[in-house]
Amino acid sequence: MSALSFELNNKPDQRLDLSPLVPARLAGLNRKQVEALPINTTRTKLTVGDAFKVRGKDVESLHFVGTDERCDKIGAGLAGGEIVVEGDAGRLLGAQMKSGKIAVDGSVGVLAGASMGGGEVAVRRDAGDQVGGVAFGETFGMKGGFIFIGRDAGALVGERLRRGLIVVGGKAGDYAGGRMVAGTILLRGGAGRYAGYGNRRGSLIFAEKPRHILPTYADSGVMEFDYLRLLETWLREQGMRIRLGGRARRLMGDQAVLGKGEMLILR
Amino acid sequence: MPELKLKGVNIVETFAEAFPMVGTRVIITAPTAEWAMISASTMTGFATSVIACGAEAGIERILSKKETPDRRPGVAVLLFTMDVDKLQTQLRNRVGQCVLTSPGSACYAGLDSKKSLKLGSSLRFFGDGWQTSKVIGGRRYWRIPVMGGEFVCEEKTGLTKNAVGGGNLLVVGKSHHAVLAACTRAVKAMADLPDVITPFPGGIVRSGSKVGSKYAGQIASTNHAYAPGLKWHADSELPPSAEAVLEIVIDGLSADAIHEAMHAGIHAIARGGSREGITHITAGNYGGNLGPHHFHLKEIVG
């Protein structure tokens, strides 16, 4: 069965709420019913059929083609299945998703993977602020699963992160790991200022020494971490060859809060 | 009289009687293969028999770097007891005292099952509040700060209630030298097989036991029917030519694994034929009334 695809016809004059386009909501609907689903975010009504050319059948495998930064909430609340985005995505991509996979060819807006509980989000290019951050109405950010950003990410990567892993291939903005509770953030291209601000028990792994280290992080020096080897092995199994090695310098903080978090600066 | 012969060695038409056990597997890694083996050997030390050791344990096999979760050299260890509570206690004590303490070691689950045994989830308290956990790929690992750096231990490991203990082979020969050589060969052949261990020293028991004794409170005593020095006695099961009998005891995660191991063992023992001084291969049983698993040598050879 071919993937159910949604090709954007023309740029609509409002932001789109694409949260209804997930396997659980589409199961059992025929083409007409799918096309009749409302996706407007203003008082001007807009349906799926107005904005997209719909093809294919398999609701477990969804393709969005030609989407742009105003296509919000793609895969929000996803609970299984696979979504491929051939284009950009707006805010709240995969927010509060529980399982399944989302792969984006382009860039995504703010709050990608916000408060997600599980599953996988992979973005090939850039991401906006608050990757894995706190979705509206939630108290924690990402609570499980895996987010991969191929290039740069905005501010507050992993804000209030509770569990799970975020990998940023490029540079992250200010406050990376801000107020994180636990979980792991791997920053391959460094971060802006105030990384790990308010970190309680989380791990921030830097591939290279960050330019700014908060004074509330206490240096424990260099040692071996078998945990990094486990992480490297797992990443490799996911098809990502990221060398972490076993040695890192450990700074513990944020001492202004619980102080059981860490920055691991790879050697 | 035995009818079946393998290269002149008599295969006695009897069976090994074995018992249900509960078992688990853990994987121990270390910076070098040598240290992984030291850690695993220590953990499986004094674990020959549940009669007085609390558990039966042994090294299942050496793992290459590619096979371990952290890509360091490792060893797979099997641990067996008679019930789940004892298995839990033995696992906690042995990993806690022998693996946690071993330089550079880490300990991971070696079995997946619905019900599980606590591993890092009880040892983490050694961290005195400094322990942290990490979930990688859906599996939780505890990181416990120790003097040598950090002890990483997976939160739990699986168990099986289908394990079998007490699969055995008795090897009778014309000299101690010949029997020891044949048994050593058999243990080596079994060492290559998955899911089994031979928990006794070097895999071989020289003091097979029977249940009970003439002395009150002695729960096991020498299997006098197979002691060559007592061949004169009416209880003796040995031919006049027998000078020594050694036993190989096998514990496995399944009855099939024991079957495979006994098959490999019998053929390795008989490889030298009767010319090398092995006269009989037999097995220990209690008349079939105690253990539900009966491994008939005749079926195993075939």
Question: SS3 for B236?
Answer: coil
Give the pLDDT score at B211: 87
Using CB atoms, pick whichever of B106, B135, B152 lies closest to residue A163: B135
Q: Which residues of B44-59 are buried (b: 16+ CB within 10 A; e: fewer)?
A: beebbbbeeebbbbbb
For an interface test with B, the pick among A226, A234, A236, A244 (most B C-beta atoms closer than 10 Å) comes out as: A226
The shortest C-alpha distance from A231 to chain B (Å) reads 7
Give the pLDDT score at B65: 96
Q: Between chains, do B29 and A226 touch, taking CB under 8 Å as contact?
A: yes
Q: Which residue in chain A has the smallest CA separation from B137?
A: A234
CA-to-CA distance for B168 and B245, rounded, in angstroms? 13
Q: Which tens digits make up the pLDDT trace of A100-132?
A: 999 999 999 999 999 999 999 999 999 999 999
Q: Between chains, do B69 and A224 touch, taking CB under 8 Å as contact?
A: no
Q: Which residues contact A136 (CB under 8 A, 6 or more apart)?
A: none
Residue B1 has pLDDT above 70, yes or no: no
Using CB atoms, pick whichever of A201, A227, A229 lies closest to residue B72: A229
Residues B43 and B173 in one domain: no
pTM higher than 0.90 for the full model? yes
Question: SS3 for B15?
Answer: strand
* Residue of B68, B74, B44 whose CA lies nearest to B56: B44
Residues B237 and B250 in one domain: yes
Residues B145 and B240 in one domain: no
Residues B78 and B196 in one domain: no
For residue B45, give both structure tokens. 């030390």
Give the pLDDT score at B74: 98
Question: SS3 for B239?
Answer: coil
Q: Between chains, do A234 and B141 touch, taking CB under 8 Å as contact?
A: no
**Considering all CA atoms of chain B, what is the largest pairwise distance in Å, rounded to the nearest integer?**
67
For residue A90, give both structure tokens. 């707006």
For chain A, domains (ranges, CATH) are 65-266 (2.160.20.60)
Q: Between chains, do B152 and A230 touch, taking CB under 8 Å as contact?
A: yes
* H/E stretch holding B180: helix B176-191
CA-to-CA distance for B300 and B11, rounded, in angstroms? 10
Residues B107 and B174 in one domain: no
Give the pLDDT score at B204: 97
CA-to-CA distance for B282 and B2, rounded, in angstroms? 10
Q: What is the mean pLDDT of chain B?
A: 95
φ, ψ of residue B99 to 5 degrees: the values are: -100, -50
Q: Between chains, do A237 and B69 touch, taking CB under 8 Å as contact?
A: no
Q: How far apart are the first and last CA of chain B?
A: 19
Q: Which CATH number goes with the domain that contains B52?
A: 3.30.70.520
Give the pLDDT score at B2: 47
Give the pLDDT score at B261: 97
Give the pLDDT score at A239: 92
Q: Which tens digits make up the pLDDT trace of B241-260?
A: 999 999 999 999 999 999 99
Residues B205 and B297 in one domain: yes
* DSSP code of residue B44: T
Exposed/middle/buried for residue A66 (C-beta within 10 Å: 0-12, 13-18, 19+):
middle
B chain contacts of residue A225, beta-carbon cutoff 8 Å: 143, 149-150
Residues B47 and B77 in one domain: yes
B chain contacts of residue A233, beta-carbon cutoff 8 Å: 69-71
Instruction: Give the domain range for residue B142.
Output: 22-160
Let me know: does A188 contact A240? Beta carbons within 8 Å. Answer: no
Question: SS3 for B99?
Answer: helix
Separation in Å, CA B85 to CA B34, B43, B55, B91: 32, 18, 12, 10
For residue B60, give both structure tokens. 């299942």
Domain count within chain B: 2
Residues B68 and B124 in one domain: yes
Across chain A, the runs of DSSP E, i.e. the strands, are 3-8, 16-17, 52-55, 58-65, 71-72, 79-86, 99-104, 120-123, 143-149, 163-168, 184-187, 203-206, 218-224, 247-253, 261-266
Residues B194 and B181 in one domain: yes
Residues B13 and B69 in one domain: no
Q: Between chains, do B141 and A227 touch, taking CB under 8 Å as contact?
A: yes
CA-to-CA distance for B214 and B216, rounded, in angstroms? 7
Q: Which tens digits make up the pLDDT trace of A155-169?
A: 999 999 999 999 999
Q: Between chains, do B136 and A237 touch, taking CB under 8 Å as contact?
A: no
Using CB atoms, pick whichever of A226, A229, A234 lies closest to residue B137: A234
Q: Which tens digits make up the pLDDT trace of A205-256?
A: 999 889 899 999 999 999 999 999 999 999 999 999 999 999 999 999 899 9
Let me know: does B161 contact B230? Beta carbons within 8 Å. Answer: no
Average pLDDT rounded to a whole number, residues B72-95: 98
Using CB atoms, pick whichever of B29, B69, B149 lies closest to residue A224: B149
A chain contacts of residue B70, beta-carbon cutoff 8 Å: 226, 229-230, 233
Using CB atoms, pick whichever of A164, A184, A226 lies closest to residue B70: A226
Q: Which tens digits make up the pLDDT trace of A69-98?
A: 999 999 999 999 999 999 999 999 999 999
Q: Between chains, do B130 and A260 touch, taking CB under 8 Å as contact?
A: yes
Q: Which tens digits make up the pLDDT trace of B23-71?
A: 999 999 999 999 999 999 999 999 999 989 999 999 999 999 999 999 9
For residue A225, give both structure tokens. 């971490």
Residues B29 and B154 in one domain: yes
Average pLDDT rounded to a whole number, residues A34-60: 94
Q: Which tens digits make up the pLDDT trace of B129-173?
A: 999 999 999 999 999 999 999 999 999 999 999 999 999 999 999
Share of residues in chain B with pLDDT > 70 (%):
99
- Which of B123, B143, B160 lies at the terminal end of a domain, its last residue? B160
CA-to-CA distance for A124 and A113, rounded, in angstroms? 14
* Residue of A114, A119, A121, A117 whose CA lies nearest to A135: A114
Residues B112 and B215 in one domain: no
Q: Which tens digits make up the pLDDT trace of B118-128?
A: 999 999 999 99
- Which of B128, B160, B192 lies at the terminal end of a domain, its last residue? B160
- Which of B100, B125, B160 lies at the terminal end of a domain, its last residue? B160
A chain contacts of residue B130, beta-carbon cutoff 8 Å: 260
Q: Which tens digits make up the pLDDT trace of B179-219?
A: 999 999 999 999 989 999 999 999 999 999 988 899 999 98
A chain contacts of residue B141, beta-carbon cutoff 8 Å: 227, 230
